[in-house]
């Protein structure tokens, strides 16, 4: 019996579990390890921050998916990986051996250990709701008595969307309050990688709110002391244990993979989504993890049953849909862009359809 261990409730692993429900290979047992049963779908996080969705409505229930797939669900966290011994050590100090290992553990952030204002880091996504609920309560109390100042650190999609979403939520709760918003980025471009028209829509949206935008500027404690919240959304970073594992990693610590999605140094270890390094760097966006899912699923099954693996080819263009916090959104695809309430409705439909694929009812255990 081959033991296949999935580490992380990432987007690609959701697909593996879904396929395992209907097409379970003989001679294999599946284990799933992740610290939280509910895995938020990143595309809907800004809408949840803005108050449009309940937390449970933006999550994939991994414990339920694992049960339907007949997999062992372990609520724990990998802290040490020994690929030579094929051995995993979890935070509880439990040790798990594997024949095939798949890592879909996302990425993290390293904000300063202390800041003059309360800080909300946008990664890891699975922890965000634990901090958002008390943070929102505090901001709402402040907004009842004086203007609130929110500062996003990071000029990419996550910082932009979260800033607008948080502003919207506070004004929903305290309609008479004033919310000042600032976006600070070390990069010189707002929303890098998007179509020029989409960047312009982003600029106009911020200008319409009298937002302060400081590009090409590093975060500085002293200048941000008057903020009521720092939204930390700088670029994705690799988990420390990835580099320590001895797997081949890229300079920033991402696990280097080949076209089969397996490690170039240890072919029995697969890596997908943010934690993986493709030959040419891919943007750290959930869409790549989603598209890797079916290839990973097929290749794990092929590795168990001795079939030919499939090759992954990344899409050349990515559709980005950015919520602006007011049931409107900005679209960007190659050089094309659009903005409006219809873009939000489009985004909402796509996101809900994606999550529906992993709902329980159609997947009763066979």
Ligand X SMILES: Cc1cc2nc3c(=O)[nH]c(=O)nc-3n(C[C@H](O)[C@H](O)[C@H](O)COP(=O)(O)OP(=O)(O)OC[C@H]3O[C@@H](n4cnc5c(N)ncnc54)[C@H](O)[C@@H]3O)c2cc1C
Interface residues with ligand X (CB under 6 A)?
A: 7-12, 33-36, 39, 42-43, 45-46, 77-78, 104-106, 122-126, 157-158, 161-162, 239, 273-274, 284-287, 289
Q: Residue 78 or residue 146: which is nearer to ligand X going by CB?
A: 78
Q: Which residue, 21 or 296, is less far from ligand X as judged by CB?
A: 296
- The residue (of 68 and 78) whose beta carbon lies closer to ligand X is 78
User: Nearest distance from residue 205's CB to ligand X, in Å?
Assistant: 16
Question: How far apart are CB 75 and ligand X at their closest, in Å?
Answer: 10
Rounded to a whole number of angstroms, the minimum distance from the CB of residue 49 to ligand X is: 8
Least separation, in Å, of the C-beta of 27 and ligand X? 25
What tokens does 279 get?
């030959």
Query: How many CB atoms are located within 10 Å of the residue 274 CB?
Result: 27
Q: Provide the total of helices (H) and of strands (E) in the chain, helices listed first.
A: 9, 20
What tokens appear for 141 in the block?
A: 């109390």
Give the separation between CA 302 and CA 308, rounded to whole angstroms. 6
**At its nearest, how many Å lie between ligand X and the CB of residue 44?**
8
Which residue number, 143 or 158, has a Cβ lying nearer to ligand X?
158
To ligand X, the closest distance from the beta carbon of 111 in angstroms equals 13
CA nearest to 285, candidates 323, 318, 312, 333: 318
**Alpha-carbon gap, residue 175 to 278, rounded angstroms:** 46
- Rank residues 107 and 174 by Cβ distance to ligand X and give the closer one: 107
Neighbouring-strand partners of residue 258: none
Q: CB 219 → ligand X: shortest distance, Å?
A: 17
Say which residue the tokens 């990419």 belong to.
Answer: 156
Closest to ligand X by CB, 170 vs 307, is 170
The full 3-state SS of 74-120, as one line of letters, equals EECCEEEEECCCCEEEECCCCEEECCEEEECCCCECCCCCCCCCCEE
Task: Kindly list the distances between the CA atom of residue 277 and the CA atoms of 33, 237, 238, 280, in Å, as whole numbers in the listed order.
Answer: 22, 12, 10, 8
DSSP class of 69 = T
Q: Report the candidate in 261, 260, 263, 286 with the shortest Cα–Cα distance to residue 273.
A: 286
Closer of 159 and 309 to ligand X (Cβ): 159
Task: Provide the minimum distance between the beta carbon of 274 and ligand X in the complex, in angstroms, as a whole number.
Answer: 4
- Secondary structure (DSSP) of 163-206: HHHHHHHHHHHSTT--EEEEEEESSSSSSTTS-HHHHHHHHHHH
Smallest gap from Cβ 323 to ligand X, in A, equals 8
- Cβ nearer to ligand X, comparing 177 with 338: 338
Cβ nearer to ligand X, comparing 162 with 331:
162
Round the CA-based radius of gyration of the chain to a whole number and report it.
21
The count of C-alpha atoms lying within 13 angstroms of the C-alpha of 180, restricted to the half-sphere facing its C-beta, is 12
What SS3 state is found at 105?
Answer: coil
């Amino acid at each position: 019996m081959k033991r296949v261990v999935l580490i992380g409730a990432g987007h690609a692993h959701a697909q593996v579990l879904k396929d395992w429900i209907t097409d379970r290979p003989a001679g294999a047992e599946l284990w799933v390890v992740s610290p939280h049963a509910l895995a938020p779908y990143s595309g809907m996080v800004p809408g949840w921050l803005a108050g449009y969705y309940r937390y449970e409505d933006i999550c994939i229930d991994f414990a339920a998916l694992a049960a339907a797939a007949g997999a062992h669900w372990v609520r724990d966290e990998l802290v040490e990986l020994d690929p030579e011994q094929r051995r995993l050590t979890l935070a509880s100090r439990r040790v798990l051996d594997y024949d095939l290992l798949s890592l879909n553990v996302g990425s993290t952030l390293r904000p300063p250990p202390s800041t003059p204002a309360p800080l909300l880091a946008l990664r890891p996504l699975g922890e965000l709701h634990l901090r958002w609920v008390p943070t929102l309560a505090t901001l709402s109390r402040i907004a009842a008595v004086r203007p609130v100042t929110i500062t996003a650190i990071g000029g990419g999609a996550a910082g932009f969307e979260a800033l607008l979403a948080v502003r919207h939520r506070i004004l929903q709760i305290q309609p008479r309050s004033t919310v000042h918003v600032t976006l600070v980025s070390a990069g010189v471009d707002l929303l890098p990688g998007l179509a020029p028209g989409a960047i312009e829509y982003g600029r106009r949206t911020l200008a319409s709110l009298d937002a302060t935008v400081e590009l090409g500027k590093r975060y500085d404690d002293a200048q941000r002391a008057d903020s009521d919240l720092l939204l930390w959304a700088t670029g994705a970073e690799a988990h420390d244990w990835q580099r320590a594992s001895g797997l081949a990693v890229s300079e920033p610590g991402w696990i280097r993979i080949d076209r089969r999605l397996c490690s170039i140094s240890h072919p029995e270890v697969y890596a997908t989504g943010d934690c993986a390094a493709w030959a040419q760097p891919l943007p750290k966006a959930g869409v790549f993890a989603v598209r890797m899912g079916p290839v990973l699923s097929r290749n794990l099954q092929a590795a168990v049953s001795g079939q030919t693996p499939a090759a992954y080819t990344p899409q050349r263009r990515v559709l980005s849909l950015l919520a602006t916090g007011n049931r409107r959104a900005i679209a960007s695809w190659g050089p094309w862009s659009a903005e409006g309430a219809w873009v939000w409705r489009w985004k909402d439909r796509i996101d809900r359809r994606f999550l529906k694929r992993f709902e329980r009812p159609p997947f009763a255990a066979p």
